Structure 1
Amino acid sequence: MATASSGRANYGGGFIEMLMTGRDPTPMGRGGAVYNRPGAYATYGRSTEPAAYPADPFEPAARPRTPGRRMAALGEPVEMERPIERVIDPRFRKQEVAYDGPHKPGTIIIDTPQRFLFLVQPGGRALRYGIGVGRPGFSWAGMKTVSRKAEWPSWTPPAEMLKRRPDLPRFMQGGPENPLGARAMYLGSTLYRIHGTNEPHTIGQAVSSGCIRMTNDDVTDLYERVRVGAKVLVI
């Protein structure tokens, strides 16, 4: 299976998603922000440096699952010292913004550093959505196309993941508890995809293994607007 960037192993796109605990759910500071298109970001009074993440939060020790507890994106119960804030920063809500770039309507542009996905619209406009992106070491860039679309996709962990995490399920039917969420748009022949999530409070963070995660509402909205064959530019 093709990898997204030179020298990086493909670990199954967004199949392995790390729930980060005890952190501001935005990648930037909480200061006011103006952001309308890739490369145009301004803040007032706060740092724009991404939050620091643990060097290797990828593979926690396997723990027995407790019956009745919700399965998180890693496929195991989550034990947290304190509750994670469940409110998505307003910056990451869907918005219509100005767009003056060269790409045609229907093109998806993913601005990885700023955690935004843009769908170019006619008339110099774009729809902007907040996203979760690959954690440090798993981000990538390039041009892909939407090769397939699926509603409530099932989850089959790849062999590489199962080798590291033999406690994970071999298959998980699509549904609200599935880490891939309500919709998935597959990118070329890779294992990367744009998909929903069962952990919406992680939007705005670098937490995935390379996939682009959205809230279920946003990915459903995007799914209805995007055709198979659409170009996806990841920067």
Structure 2
Amino acid sequence: MDNQFRKGLNRRHFLATGAAMLGTPVIAQNVNEGTTEVERDLSTVVRRNISSFRTLEWQPYFSSLNNGAVLVDISSRALHFWEESGAYHLYPSSVPLTEDLTRRGRTSVVRKVEGPEWRPTPSMKKRNPEWPDYVGPGPDNPLGTHALYLGWTYYRIHGTHDTRKIGRRSSNGCIGLYNEHIAELFGMARVGTQVLLI
């Protein structure tokens, strides 16, 4: 085998192994009281479409990588990030619970917050009047440890302390990542990073 083939084989093996691990069903515990974004029973087993978690090229979606680029694929529940240098990162994500909560199109990162505060939107509060009006930074905050605020009101890419949400339709519109992944993305993305949700 030549080196190029070996490199491709190792990369495919790595991606297949990672996808298989992500696709392994997990039986979640009961939903804790006070969870603020989930409107669905997370104790059910979810089988993910492993084949949809794949790498993408940036050129079909962006004209350049100025300030970096984030692509969120709602169908495959994956967030793709290209640094301005072209370095590529792929993260599993949670996506909006329903189609009417889903927003697609182009925007950008307008603000970055470490230790974000959370307030439910008026429509969230209407659907869930028992939810608190405010949650400060910490382990009960549904935005996790970091948040990238988008140009659309109320929309963010953020972390979550409830790891059962990742890979599911579980949010009220935002895109959720594991806390360690949002911390990594937070360090690379900047105000002005372009964002596309498809």
Counterpart in the other structure of 1:112: 74
Kept in 1: contact 2:121–2:154 (CA 8 A): no
Kept in 2: contact 1:132–1:208 (CA 8 A): yes
Shift, 1:203, TM fit: 0.7
Q: Return closer, same or farther for 1:233/1:167 CA change in 2, 3 Å cut-off.
A: same
Map 1:67-82 → 2, pairs under 5 A? none
Counterpart in the other structure of 1:16: 37
Structure 1 position 130 matched with structure 2 position 151: no
Kept in 2: contact 1:131–1:204 (CA 8 A): yes
Shift, 1:18, TM fit: 3.0
Q: Return closer, same or farther for 1:158/1:113 CA change in 2, 3 Å cut-off.
A: same
Task: Tell me which amino acid in the other structure corresponds to 2:181.
Answer: D
More displaced stretch, 102-111 vs 195-204: 102-111
Shift, 1:198, TM fit: 1.7
Distance 2:52 2:125 in 1: 41
Counterpart in the other structure of 1:177: 140
More displaced stretch, 118-127 vs 175-184: 118-127
Distance 1:123 1:230 in 2: 13
Distance 1:123 1:156 in 2: 36
Match of 1:101 among 34, 50, 59: 59
Instruction: Name the TM-score, length of structure 1 as normaliser.
Output: 0.61
Q: Which blocks of at least 5 consecutive residues in structure 2 are unaligned?
A: 1-35
Structure 1 position 232 matched with structure 2 position 190: no
Map 1:85-100 → 2, pairs under 5 A? 99=57
Structure 1 position 27 matched with structure 2 position 51: no
Distance 2:127 2:42 in 1: 22
Instruction: Name the TM-score, length of structure 2 as normaliser.
Output: 0.71
Q: Which blocks of at least 5 consecutive residues in structure 1 are unaligned?
A: 1-14, 38-98
Which of the pair has the greater relative contact order for Cα pairs under 8 Å at 6+ separation?
A: 1
Distance 2:71 2:130 in 1: 36
Of Structure 1 and Structure 2, which has the larger fraction of its residues in helix? 2
More displaced stretch, 202-211 vs 212-221: 202-211
Structure 1 position 36 matched with structure 2 position 55: yes
Q: CA RMSD in A?
A: 2.1
Kept in 1: contact 2:52–2:76 (CA 8 A): no
Task: Tell me which amino acid in the other structure corresponds to 2:126.
Answer: K
Counterpart in the other structure of 1:71: none
Match of 1:187 among 114, 132, 150: 150
Task: Tell me which amino acid in the other structure corresponds to 1:219.
Answer: I
Distance 2:128 2:75 in 1: 29
**Alignment size in residue pairs:** 158
